[in-house]
Every structure is written in structure tokens, then in C-alpha cells.
């Protein structure tokens, strides 16, 4: 099946020569959730802005549902919804009016039933007659989402949707995203919160200095690049790692009662069995054994810093 | 044409107008009434008639023009500057609409508001003076064209401005002086010959003169020049907007 969003060699240079995007190529399949990770100034927002028509690309092409964003911009934009990073709303406008306005911009009449459905889904129905300035920060974010969904887009961009949002609301947002995915909406979100990508994304893209460093299935990425550790907890603390265990490249914690073994999950032999045998032969008594996998955050930091994971 | 989008922008802008009815409607009515009281009474007692029309009635076209020009500019410039200032312009730029549709929506709403206020001032004036309109169609044409052309100018100012100071720069430093010196409160025939010649370089003179002609049948400059001036001014504004549309100047990075 053709990708719903296809970005080919997209470049964006600003006056003064700053290159915000350096030839980004990316295909996004219908119905998936892609999380774009990257530090500040990596080019995440520029990428979204360019696809959505806010920024004009210097070169390259983007198609949405097969429609080119420049030559067939009406059909392309019709399919896109955008939730911006900043809370940008008219403070004196009523919730209902501002969502109806968004729907109108996309060529739809005010379908009261549809607007009600959106507002109810986002728990905004009771606030529909309130002016935006009367709402809390979290509610304003919901209004932004309602506006983006007002024209029933097939592709939704969420630019840092949970920046500055409390934990409860963040979980709510994740539920909303899951619901949208279930209804077939393709979602591209940028985030600083690695756990957000880890929790909801199907694929993860890492962008830095205008370049897409990788795009991969989240689980595969974690399996491929993730290190796993075994913590061997000892019954009695030791002063140093016994010589007979030196071949295993272990580390000992400060208290001397936990041996940490790091291994590659993809290696043919993890060396766990040998390690545990050697530990037993060294006369050490185990109290407990637990494993820990490196998080997406560690993978991300390693990628961006250029160090091997 | 995405007519639904144009209607959405138009309705959104008009809602703002009705939400701030006191500011949008009562304020120009009050200030116009004050002009009648102060200028009409104080100066009118010294200038009995101009070309056979009482001074109070003489200044009505100029007063209407003063209000609609000022309001057209401020309505349209704020209309488009506010989304820039608040950041909500992202929505316009990412919607399936082109720049022409955005202009029609904002300029149409700004012109409608100014037209509405212009008509209210016209009605208010009937309470103070005896009005006659000799060429009603020409009057309507001048009124509508002036609202549209100065709304276009306001839109350009709103796109150009990057802060509130710049927003008020052109209206306060250029437009208002031109209107006051453009024969709003006097006929240019009252001026010394040198100033009569200098005044002819003020484009607003042609506007007010033509508008006054539609009321009373006399003008400072031939009506043809007035028509040409307003059409040319509209054309220049449209050309500038066309250029903004092509280049995305100060809208799209």
C-alpha cells in the first residue's frame, strides 16, 4: 500500500544560510503513530511546518495521500490536521465558535452533530460556551486538538502535545491518540518525552541538526540498540570482584552486594549461563537476580551524541 | 474558490465586531456627534454657508470619510495582525485556502464594519443637520470603494507590521493628517492659491471632493479625477497584495 505521507529529499534553508532540513526522506504508512525525537532546534517543527504549508520548502517534495503539498495543496491540506506546539488561540473567542471556524476553513459547513461529537470526545462539551481565556492550560490544549480534528483529518501532526502538561492530562492525551489511531488516523508527533514515544509510538524517528538519523520500528529499535543488564544480588557483600569472574567484565556496586553484567540481546551467546555458573563456583550465594533493559531515552542520547549504544 | 473558508473568516471577524459593539459602533457615533457640536457650532457660527450649503451639512461627507477611512484601516490591519501576534495564523496557512480567499475574508469583513459605521454616522448626521444626497448611487459607490480600498491598505499594514507601534504608525502619521488636510472641514477654495496647489498633491482631497459632490453636486476637483483617484488607489493596493501573495512576504517563511 502506498504510504499516506511521503517526504523526499526535503530541504529548508533560511536567509543567512541556516539549513534547518538537510534532505529528509521519510515514508509514513496509514494508521501508524510515528514519534519524532530530537533535541531543541533539531528541525522537528520545521519538518512539520513544511509539510503543513506554514513554511515553504527550499527543495524536495512531499505528498499526502498522493497529493503534492505545493501543486495540489488544497487536496493535500484537506487531509492534514495540525496541533501546534504553542497554545495559539483567540482569548476572547468562545470554544464552540473557534472550533466551528476551523471546520469552516477546510470548506465544511457547521455540522453541529460532528462538532458536538468532537467536543464531547475531548471533554470540552461543558465548556463550549466559555471564552478561551477562561480555560486552564490543559483545556486550551484540548481546544487545539478539537480545532485540528474539526475537519476530520486523516493525518494528524501533534507538535509537542504534552509539553508543560501534568501527568494526568498527559495520560489523557495518550488515550486520545490511541482512540484516533483506532479510527484509522495516522499520527506524527514530536516530543521531548521519551517515555511518550515509548508508550504510544509504533515507529520512532530520530532527527538532529536537520537530518533524520534513523526511523525504525520502536520494538526493533529497542531490541537492536538496547543493552540489557543483569543485576546479580549477593547474600553477602564482597570487597572486590573475584578473579575468576574477571573475564565477564562485571561492575560492582558501592555496597559490594550487586554485580552488574551488561550484555547485548542480539548476540549469539549472551554469556548469562556461564556467568551464573562462574558466580556459583566462586562460592557466592545469590539473593536475587533481575534484568533491566536500556530505555529509549538512553538510545536517543547515544544516537544524538554519536556514541555507540 | 473555498467559499466556506471565506465565510468562516468573515463571520469570525464580524463576531469580533459585535462582541465589541461599544468600541466598534458607539465610539465613532459619539466622536462624530462631538465633531458636529464642536466644529458645527463653533466654526459654523462664523462660516454660515459653503457653496449654498450650511457648514454643518458641508462637513458631513468629510466626517463620514474620516471615520470610514480610519476604521477600514484599523479593522483590516488588526484583523490580520492579531492572528500573527497570537500565533493563530498557523491555521490560515495550513488550511486549504489561498491568499486571495484570506484577503476577501478579512478585507470584506473590515469593509463591512466600516460601511456599517459610515451609514450609522450618516443617519446620526440627520439629527443635527439637513442632508440632501443628489447622486445616491455615486455616493454608495464612493462609500463602498473607499471602505474596500482602505481596508486593502489596512490589510497591507497588518501584514507589514511586526509590532503594535508600527500598526499605528501609518494611520496616525500619514493617513489622519492627509484626511484633516484633505478638505474634511473646509473647501480648498478657501485656501490661499499656493496652498490650493499644494493640496492637490494630497490624494484624500480627490476622495472627499468626489464624495461631497455625490451629496451636494459641487466639488473641489472634477469628479472624473476623484473617480480615477479612488480606482487607481484600489489598483495600487491590489497590486501590492498580489506581490505579497506571490512572495509570501512576512507571512510564510
Nearest to A74 among B8, B16, B96 (CB): B96
In chain B, the residue whose alpha carbon lies closest to the alpha carbon of A52 is B94
Asked whether residue A92 is domain-assigned, the answer is yes
Residue A300 resides in a domain:
no
Residues A78 and A151: beta-carbon distance below 8 Å: yes
Query: Are A144 and A248 in a shared domain?
Result: no
Task: Name the residue in chain A with its Cα closest to that of B79.
Answer: A90
Distance from CA of A200 to the nearest CA of B (A): 26
CA neighbor of A134 nearest in space, from A97, A168, A92: A92
pLDDT at A144: 94
Query: How far apart are the C-alpha atoms of A175 and A260, rounded to whole Å?
Result: 37
Judge if A268 and A145 occupy the same domain.
no
Query: What pLDDT score was predicted for residue A306?
Result: 67
The answer on A283 and A151 residing in a single domain is no
B22 touches chain A (CB under 8 A): no
The ipTM estimated for the assembled molecules is 0.86
A239 in reach of chain B (CB within 8 A)? no
**Domains contained in chain A, number:** 2
Q: What is the mean pLDDT of chain B?
A: 88
In the predicted model, what is the mean pLDDT of residues B89-102?
92
The whole-number pLDDT of residue B8 equals 94
B105, B9 Cβ separation under 8 angstroms = yes
What is the pLDDT at residue A307? 58
User: Do A56 and B253 make contact, defined as CB atoms within 8 angstroms?
Assistant: yes
**Does residue A24 lie in a domain region?**
yes
With CB atoms and an 8 Å threshold, state whether A92 touches B87.
no
- Both A215 and A168 in one domain: the answer is yes
Chain A CB within 8 Å of residue B246 CB: no
A-chain CB neighbours of B248 within 8 Å are: 56
Q: Vertex B208, ends B204 and B214: CA angle to 5°? A: 150
| Sheet strands (E) in chain A | 5-13, 19-28, 33-37, 59-64, 67-68, 80-83, 155-159, 186-191, 203-208, 211-217, 227-234, 251-252, 258-264, 286-293
Contact A52 B94 (CB under 8 A): yes
Contact B90 A88 (CB under 8 A): yes
Q: What is the pLDDT of residue A266?
A: 67
CATH assignment at residue A149 = 3.40.50.300
Q: What is the pLDDT of residue A309?
A: 43
Return the residue matching grid coordinates 488516523.
A185
User: pLDDT under 50 in chain A at which residues?
Assistant: 308-309
Using CA coordinates, name the residue in chain A closest to B4.
A107
**Residue of chain A with shortest Cα separation from B101:** A105
In A, minimum Cα distance to B1 occurs at A107
> Domain of A265: which CATH number?
3.30.70.1560
- Average pLDDT of chain A to the nearest whole number: 87
pLDDT at A298: 72
A140: in domain: yes
**Residue A37 belongs to a domain:** yes
CB atoms B94 and A109 under 8 Å = no
Res B159 pLDDT > 60: yes
Q: Is residue A298 part of a domain?
A: no
A206 and A252 together in one domain: no
B248 min Cα distance to partner chain A (Å): 9
Q: What is the pLDDT of residue A263?
A: 81
With an 8 Å Cβ cutoff, are A107 and B9 in contact? no
Looking at the structure, tell me whether residues A238 and A214 fall in a common domain.
no
**Do the domain assignments include residue A216?**
yes
Give CA–CA dist B231/B208, Å, rounded. 14
- Residue B99 to chain A, least CA–CA distance (Å): 12
Contacts across the A-B interface (CB distance below 8 Å): 85
Using CB atoms, which residue from B8, B252, B253 is nearest to A104? B8
pLDDT at position A17 is 83
B197 CB burial (10 A radius; 0-12, 13-18, 19+)? exposed
Chain A residues 56-85 with CB within 8 Å of chain B: 56, 73-78, 80, 82, 84
Residues of A in contact with B16 (CB under 8 A): 92
Q: Please list every residue in chain B whose beta carbon sits closer than 8 Å to the beta carbon of residue A68.
A: none
Which of A223, A246, A267 terminates a domain? The answer is: A223
A308 falls within a domain:
no
Give helix B203-216 / helix B223-247 axis angle, nearest 10°.
130
* Closest residue on chain A to B90 (Cα): A54
pLDDT digits (tens, 9 = 90+) for A153-202: 999 999 988 777 777 778 878 888 888 899 899 999 998 777 788 888 99
The reply to whether B88 touches chain A by the CB within 8 Å rule is yes
Residue B187 is predicted with a pLDDT of: 85
Sign of the C-alpha dihedral computed for residues B131, B135, B137 and B138 taken in this order: negative
pLDDT the model gives residue A49? 94
Do both A116 and A252 map to the same domain? Answer: no
Segments forming the whole domain that contains residue A269:
227-293
Residue with the bigger pLDDT between B46 and A290: it is A290
Q: Residue A109 has what pLDDT?
A: 81
**Residues found in chain A:** 309
Could you count the other beta carbons within 10 Å of the beta carbon of residue A221?
23
Cα dist from B215 to B58, B69, B141, whole Å: 9, 18, 12
Give the H/E segment covering residue B240.
helix B223-247
Amino acid at each position: 500500500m502506498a504510504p499516506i505521507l511521503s517526504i523526499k529529499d526535503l530541504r529548508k534553508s533560511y536567509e543567512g544560510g541556516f539549513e534547518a532540513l538537510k534532505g529528509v526522506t521519510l515514508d509514513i504508512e496509514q494508521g501508524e503513530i510515528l514519534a519524532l525525537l530530537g533535541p531543541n532546534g533539531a528541525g522537528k517543527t520545521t519538518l512539520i511546518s513544511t509539510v503543513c504549508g506554514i513554511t515553504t520548502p527550499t527543495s524536495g517534495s512531499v505528498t499526502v495521500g498522493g497529493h503534492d503539498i505545493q501543486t495540489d495543496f488544497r487536496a493535500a491540506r484537506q487531509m492534514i490536521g495540525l496541533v501546534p506546539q504553542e497554545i495559539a488561540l483567540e482569548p476572547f473567542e468562545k470554544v464552540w465558535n473557534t472550533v466551528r471556524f476551523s471546520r469552516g476553513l477546510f470548506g465544511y459547513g457547521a455540522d453541529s452533530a460532528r462538532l458536538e461529537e468532537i467536543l464531547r470526545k475531548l471533554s470540552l462539551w461543558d465548556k463550549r460556551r466559555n471564552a478561551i481565556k477562561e480555560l486552564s492550560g490543559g483545556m486550551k490544549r484540548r481546544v487545539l486538538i478539537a480545532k485540528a480534528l474539526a475537519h476530520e483529518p486523516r493525518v494528524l501532526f501533534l507538535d509537542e502535545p504534552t509539553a508543560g502538561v501534568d501527568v494526568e492530562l498527559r495520560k489523557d492525551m495518550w488515550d486520545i491518540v490511541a482512540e484516533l489511531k483506532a479510527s484509522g488516523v495516522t499520527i506524527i508527533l514530536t516530543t521531548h518525552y521519551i517515555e511518550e514515544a515509548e508508550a504510544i509510538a509504533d515507529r520512532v524517528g530520530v532527527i538532529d541538526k536537520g537530518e533524520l538519523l534513523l526511523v525504525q520500528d520502536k520494538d526493533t529499535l529497542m531490541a537492536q540498540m538496547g543493552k540489557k543488564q543483569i543485576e546479580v544480588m549477593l547474600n553477602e557483600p564482597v570487597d572486590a570482584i573475584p578473579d575468576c569472574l574477571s573475564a565477564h567484565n562485571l561492575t560492582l556496586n558501592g555496597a559490594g552486594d550487586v554485580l552488574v553484567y551488561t550484555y547485548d540481546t542480539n548476540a549469539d551467546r549472551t554469556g548469562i549461563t556461564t556467568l551464573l555458573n562462574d558466580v556459583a563456583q566462586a562460592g557466592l550465594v545469590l539473593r536475587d537476580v533481575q534484568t533491566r533493559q536500556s530505555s529509549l531515552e538512553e538510545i536517543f542520547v547515544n544516537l544524538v551524541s554519536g556514541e555507540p549504544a | 474558490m473555498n467559499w466556506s473558508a471565506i465565510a468562516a473568516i468573515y463571520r469570525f471577524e464580524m463576531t469580533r465586531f459585535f462582541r465589541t459593539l461599544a468600541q466598534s459602533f458607539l465610539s465613532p457615533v459619539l466622536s462624530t456627534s462631538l465633531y458636529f457640536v464642536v466644529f458645527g457650532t463653533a466654526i459654523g457660527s462664523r462660516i454660515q454657508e459653503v457653496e449654498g450649503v450650511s457648514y454643518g451639512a458641508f462637513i458631513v461627507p468629510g466626517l463620514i470619510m474620516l471615520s470610514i477611512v480610519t476604521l477600514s484601516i484599523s479593522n483590516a490591519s488588526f484583523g490580520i495582525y492579531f492572528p500573527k501576534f497570537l500565533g493563530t495564523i498557523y491555521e490560515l496557512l495550513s488550511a486549504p485556502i489561498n491568499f486571495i480567499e484570506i484577503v476577501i475574508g478579512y478585507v470584506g469583513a473590515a469593509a463591512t464594519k466600516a460601511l456599517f459605521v459610515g451609514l450609522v454616522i450618516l443617519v446620526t448626521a440627520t439629527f443635527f443637520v439637513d442632508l440632501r444626497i443628489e447622486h445616491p448611487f455615486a455616493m454608495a459607490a464612493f462609500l463602498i470603494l473607499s471602505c474596500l480600498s482602505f481596508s486593502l491598505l489596512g490589510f497591507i499594514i497588518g501584514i507589514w507590521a511586526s509590532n503594535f507601534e508600527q500598526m499605528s504608525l501609518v494611520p496616525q502619521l500619514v493617513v489622519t493628517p492627509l484626511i484633516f488636510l484633505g478638505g474634511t472641514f473646509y473647501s480648498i477654495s478657501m485656501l490661499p492659491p499656493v496652498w490650493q496647489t499644494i493640496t492637490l498633491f494630497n490624494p484624500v482631497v480627490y476622495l472627499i471632493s468626489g464624495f461631497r459632490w455625490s451629496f451636494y453636486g459641487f466639488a473641489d476637483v472634477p469628479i472624473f479625477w476623484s473617480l480615477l483617484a479612488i480606482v487607481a488607489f484600489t489598483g495600487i493596493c491590489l497590486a501590492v497584495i498580489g506581490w505579497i501573495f506571490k512572495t509570501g512576504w512576512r507571512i510564510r517563511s
